[in-house]
Every structure is written in C-alpha cells, then in structure tokens.
Amino acid sequence: MVSRTPSPRTLADWQARAAELSFESRAFIDDTFVAAESGDTFESRNPATGEVLAQVASCDEPDAARAVAAARQAFAGGEWARLAPGKRKKTLLRLADLMEAHKHELALLDTLDMGKPISSSLGDMAGAIGCIRYQAECIDKLYGEVAPTGEETLALVLREPIGVVAAIVPWNFPLMMTAWKIAPALAAGNSVILKPSEKSPLSALRLAQLAKEAGLPKGVFQVLPGFGHTVGKALALSHEVDCLAFTGSTAVGKQLMQYAGQSNLKRVYLECGGKSPNLVFADCKDLDRVASHAAAAIFHNQGEVCIAGSRLLVENTIRDDFVERVLKAAENMQPGDPLDPDSFMGAIVDEVQHRRILDYIRQGVEEGARLRSGGQALEGPGLFIPPTVFDGVTPQMTIGREEIFGPVLAVFGFDTEEEAVAMANDTPYGLAAGLWSQDIDRILRVTRRLQSGQVFVNNWAGGDQTMPFGGVKQSGNGRDKSHHSLEEYSELKSVWMSLTL
Ligand code: NAD
C-alpha cells in the first residue's frame, strides 16, 4: 500500500505535516476509544519545544480490569486464538501495510512525543513494520512435533497461545519496542494489552486505530495509556494476565517479578537496561572509521538506547589518539531540531531525565574523570544536551558503572586482552558488547568470553529480524525478534495417545 501524498524531505515539510496532525488521546478498550473511568488525564509534551500536545487518558485499576475482562472474553471466544495461523497472518500483514501507508505520521508522533530525530523515528518505523511482517510470516511455518515413541503410542507436542499478554514498554523507541512485543504475541494467537510509557503514548493510540482498521477482533488488541505505578502495576498484579512482556529499567523489571509472585506466577519476560562495553584493540587499521562508529554507538538517539555503547574500552597504546578521533566525530553529532532530517541527536525526553543526565555529568567531574567535551545543557527552549565525553574513567566511578541513558561516553584504558575482558564483564548488566579488531583469533576468543546477549564484531548494533535481541544477567531474560520470540508467547502441550485400547 503506497501513500499518495509526497514524502516529507525538509524541515519545512515535516513542520507542515506536524501542524496538520491530530492526536487520539483516549484509551482503546474493548474495541472503543474511551476516557479513563476516573476522567483523569496526563500531559503529553514535546520536549523540543515544551508545547503540550495532548491531554491523554490516565488509566488505572478499573480500566485495567475492563481491558483484562475483554481480553479474556476474546481469548475464550477463540475468534483470534483458534483462527488458522495463515488467517492471523493475513490480518497482521494488513496491519503492517496500514502502518507503512501511515509511516510518516507514526514517525512524527514519536518524534513530537519524545524528542528523537525524525530520521531515527523513520528507521524505527521500518523496524516496527518489518517485525510485524516477519512474525506474521513465521506463524504459519511453525510445526508441532511428533515424539519418537513406540508404535503403540502417538505422542504430539503442540504449541498453543498462552492467553492474555500484557506488554509494558518504554519511551526510547516507542513504536518499535511495541512491535517487538505485540507482533509475536498476536501472531501466536494471544489477546494483547499494551501499556505504552506515560512519556510517549501517542503512536500506540494511533496504532490501535490502525489495528481496528486492519480487522483485529474486539478485545484482541487494547491500549491503556497511564503510569507504571497505577495501570502498569494493576496489569502486573492481575490474576487474569498470563504473561508480562516488559521492556524498561532493571529496577522496574525486578518489581514485575515480585508482582508475578504475589499474584498468579504469570510468565515475566524482561528486556532491561545496560552499560555496554565497546572494546577497541590497537590492531584496527582504519581508526577514523572505528571512532566514528564508537561515537554513534553512544550518541545515537541522544544516548537514550538500551544498547548504547556507553563504556568505551581502548587499548592504552592508541588511547590518546583514538579519543581525539572520537571527539572529532562527535562534533558532527550535535543535537538539533528533531524535525530536521539532518539532526543526528534530538531532545532529551523530559525534565526528569534531563536533570538525571546532568547529575551524572556533575558526579563524573566530582569523582575525577576528565571532561573532554559537552557537559552543559544547551540554552532552551527545549531539553538538549550535547555529546559529552569523559576520559580517564575507572570502574569505581559512578559514570563508569551506572546506566545514564543519555549522551555521555565513559572512556577507559586497558593494557591487555585479559584486562579488557575482565573490565567489560565487570557489570551487573549483559545486554550488548562490541569489539573492534582485525585479529581473527582474538575476535573468536573475546567473543566467547564476553558475558552479553549480543556481541557486535567490527560494527555496533548490527542485526535484523532474523536475530534474537535480549540480555543476560540483570539485562533481562527474554528475547525479542526472530522465531525465538514466538516461543515465549506460546505454551507447549504434550499429548500422549495410546493406540492399543
Ligand atoms: P521504566 O522501567 O521506568 O518504564 C518502562 C515501562 O514500565 C513504562 O511503561 C512504565 O510506565 C512502566 N512501569 C514503571 N513502573 C512500573 C510498575 N511499578 N509496574 C508496572 N509498570 C511500570 O523505563 P523507561 O524509563 O521507560 O525506559 C528506560 C529503560 O528501558 C532503560 O533502563 C533502558 O535500558 C531500558 N530499555 C531496554 C531495552 C531492551 O531491549 N533491553 C530497550 C529499550 C529500553
């Protein structure tokens, strides 16, 4: 499906599109857009300008209860759960086509709502649409099993949907993180309740309109905007939710596991935070190229990326020279108007996050790291922080240990491969790690020893729909994307049939 309006290309084009936008701000429950039962709302604000975009329904326990009841009813009715996988596929492909036709609008919603550059939002749309297509295409190609038994028995291993899945997602890639959860969960036949972040609810509500248009049956996909401690917690504590699919901070991930234990032992899949090491060895030939990737690894999306390469570990023999190259690359990554297609970085999502990042920068200086660039917020309006580079960071420093979730790079030096691996693994997280080297033996050795859900060799953030995405240690226990994510949203049923009555 191709949109007939010309694609926006310039800042002026995007500004014109933004001026025409209208926002759906009500919850989507049981096939209907409704206010929260309490009538409460919260503000959605553009962090690049401070402008209030919409007053969004602030859902709470009663709204969660209504949505859960509708989801259960839909699941029991079987209109989606028992539909042939090939037919579910058709509906999901229709949804992907509708998203494609509205991709500029969806990208704009994310950019306005949370400040990311429009070029990055467009990339997210490709990722979100691709994920829905991939999972839709997978679902009618997955077979069950016939177990190897004697001939007096037929033993089947069947895959069935779980029931009601609550997807709780963050704000840094609002629609793409949503797609990574809902695509496999819906494809597998579950009823899905989505709770977007209170910092970026608008694209999820537009998605609900498109899902309805695509023909997802009543109660199969619902969206509850609101806060974590209200509606998020209500979903997590519900006895009628069978699975929580979460992307967000490690602290909230730990709370969700407690809620599951306090309620019905629902499955909990977590994609949490990171403090990812990026190892640069002196044998690299093209250091300018590596430096520019190392800078992009942390400054992309204002550093508000779970897999940000926030710890740069550089072999000491090239460290001073390499840091100069990173600083030079970072000069071209300054924040700008998020609607400008040439802006590499946009605005920080809100004042809380802005303050948090600046507090970490202050701590870095106080603890003795060498500030080499950035470090000060830009003058308003809007919440902008330039690329900030600290050299001489040690593993004991706060900025060397904690996830900042902002454009702050911590550079460490190492002398040996052994030391580099030990430093890389010296973290409670294990989401991503990168290494740059031209020595194949070293690449193979180090790749195996890095404690990380994914390892990028001579690139950062490589991957596509075919590759699972997730972490080890306190970065989580789930895997998004690839056919492995479908396994998380289905139950195995073993059927043992005696053939000798
Ligand atoms: P967050 O944990 O504050 O919030 C995530 C979601 O959880 C939001 O929708 C929020 O409303 C909800 N929530 C908060 N408290 C809750 C509670 N008590 N009960 C139920 N729900 C609750 O995280 P954030 O600030 O939105 O996102 C940033 C974090 O997300 C970072 O730590 C980042 O690393 C992580 N992240 C991880 C991945 C990944 O794939 N591993 C991807 C993106 C972001």
308 touches 296 (CB < 8 A): no
Q: Is 295 inside a domain boundary?
A: yes
* Cα 210 to the center of its chain, rounded Å: 21
Is the CB of residue 248 below 6 angstroms from any atom belonging to ligand 1? yes
Instruction: Enumerate the active-site residues.
Output: 271
Residue (of 332, 284, 280) closest to 309 by Cα position: 280
Is the CB of residue 229 below 6 angstroms from any atom belonging to ligand 1? yes
Residues 219 and 340 in one domain: no
Residue 304 reports pLDDT greater than 90: yes
Protein residue with its CA nearest to atom 40 in ligand 1: 271
Residues 139 and 255 in one domain: yes
Residues 92 and 140 in one domain: yes
Protein residue with its CA nearest to atom 11 in ligand 1: 228
Count Cβ atoms within 10 A of the Cβ of residue 394 and give its class: 0-12 exposed, 13-18 middle, 19 or more buried: middle
- Please compute the mean of the pLDDT values over residues 397-425 and round it to a whole number: 98
Residues 250 and 203 in one domain: yes
The last residue of one of the domains, among 256, 272, 288, is 272
Among 59, 113, 172, 262, say which to mutate for ligand 1: greatest number of ligand atoms within 8 Å of CB: 172
Instruction: Give the amino acid at 187.
Output: A
Among the atoms of ligand 1, which is closest to the Cα of residue 199? 26
Per the structure, the complete domain to which residue 294 belongs is given by 277-464
Q: Is 223 inside a domain boundary?
A: yes
The last residue of one of the domains, among 221, 245, 272, is 272
The CATH number linked to 302 is: 3.40.309.10
Q: What is the count of structural domains for the chain?
A: 2
Q: Is 120 inside a domain boundary?
A: yes
Residues 259 and 301 in one domain: no
Among 249, 301, 356, 482, say which to mutate for ligand 1: greatest number of ligand atoms within 8 Å of CB: 249
Residues 292 and 222 in one domain: no
Enter the tokens of residue 377: 């917020």
Segment 442-474, tens digit of pLDDT: 999 999 999 999 999 999 999 999 999 999 999
Is the CB of residue 236 below 6 angstroms from any atom belonging to ligand 1? yes
Residue 4 pLDDT grade (very low, low, confident, very high; cuts 50, 70, 90): low
Is the CB of residue 271 below 6 angstroms from any atom belonging to ligand 1? yes
Among 113, 195, 247, 472, say which to mutate for ligand 1: greatest number of ligand atoms within 8 Å of CB: 247
Residues 84 and 233 in one domain: yes
Segment 81-101, tens digit of pLDDT: 999 999 999 999 999 999 999
Ligand 1 centroid distance, CA of 119 (Å): 23
Protein residue with its CA nearest to atom 39 in ligand 1: 271
Ligand 1 centroid distance, CA of 247 (Å): 5
Is the CB of residue 172 below 6 angstroms from any atom belonging to ligand 1? yes
Is the CB of residue 476 below 6 angstroms from any atom belonging to ligand 1? yes
Ligand 1 centroid distance, CA of 245 (Å): 11
Residue 109 pLDDT grade (very low, low, confident, very high; cuts 50, 70, 90): very high
Enter the tokens of residue 153: 């028995």
Ligand 1 centroid distance, CA of 250 (Å): 8
Ligand 1 centroid distance, CA of 86 (Å): 33
Q: Report the SS3 class of residue 28.
A: strand
Among the atoms of ligand 1, which is closest to the Cα of residue 250? 32
Residues 202 and 76 in one domain: yes
Q: Is 4 inside a domain boundary?
A: no
CA distances from 186 to 68, 165, 359, 432 (A): 15, 9, 41, 27
Q: Is 6 inside a domain boundary?
A: no
Residues 281 and 268 in one domain: no
Strand order in the sheet with 311-315: 370-373, 388-391, 408-414, 311-315, 277-280, 432-436, 454-457
Residues 311 and 162 in one domain: no
Segment 69-78, tens digit of pLDDT: 999 999 999 9
Among 168, 178, 180, 224, say which to mutate for ligand 1: greatest number of ligand atoms within 8 Å of CB: 168
Average pLDDT of the chain is 97
Ligand 1 centroid distance, CA of 225 (Å): 14
Residue 2 has a pLDDT of: 46
Is the CB of residue 453 below 6 angstroms from any atom belonging to ligand 1? no
Ligand 1 centroid distance, CA of 90 (Å): 31
DSSP character string of 434-461: EEE-S-HHHHHHHHHH--SSEEEESSSS
The CATH number linked to 138 is: 3.40.605.10
Segment 376-409, tens digit of pLDDT: 999 989 999 999 999 999 999 999 999 999 999 9
- Please compute the mean of the pLDDT values over residues 479-487 and round it to a whole number: 96
What's the rounded Cα separation, in Å, for the pair 329 and 306? 22
What's the rounded Cα separation, in Å, for the pair 313 and 443? 15
Residues 74 and 220 in one domain: yes
Residue 283 has a pLDDT of: 98
pTM: 0.97
Segment 310-365, tens digit of pLDDT: 999 999 999 999 999 999 999 999 999 999 999 999 999 999 999 999 999 999 99
CA dihedral 259, 225, 73, 92 (to 10 degrees): -110
Which phi-psi region, left, alpha or beta, contains residue 237 (left: φ > 0; alpha: ψ -120 to 50)? alpha
Residue 380 has a pLDDT of: 86
- Please compute the mean of the pLDDT values over residues 194-215 and round it to a whole number: 98
Is the CB of residue 346 below 6 angstroms from any atom belonging to ligand 1? no
Q: Is 138 inside a domain boundary?
A: yes
The share of the chain scoring above pLDDT 70, in percent, equals 99
Is the CB of residue 41 below 6 angstroms from any atom belonging to ligand 1? no
Residue 206 pLDDT grade (very low, low, confident, very high; cuts 50, 70, 90): very high
Residues 19 and 57 in one domain: yes
Ligand 1 centroid distance, CA of 136 (Å): 26
Is the CB of residue 254 below 6 angstroms from any atom belonging to ligand 1? no
Is the CB of residue 201 below 6 angstroms from any atom belonging to ligand 1? no
Is the CB of residue 305 below 6 angstroms from any atom belonging to ligand 1? no
Ligand 1 centroid distance, CA of 188 (Å): 24
Among the atoms of ligand 1, which is closest to the Cα of residue 198? 11
Q: Is 476 inside a domain boundary?
A: no
The last residue of one of the domains, among 255, 272, 289, is 272
Q: Is 487 inside a domain boundary?
A: no
Is the CB of residue 386 below 6 angstroms from any atom belonging to ligand 1? no
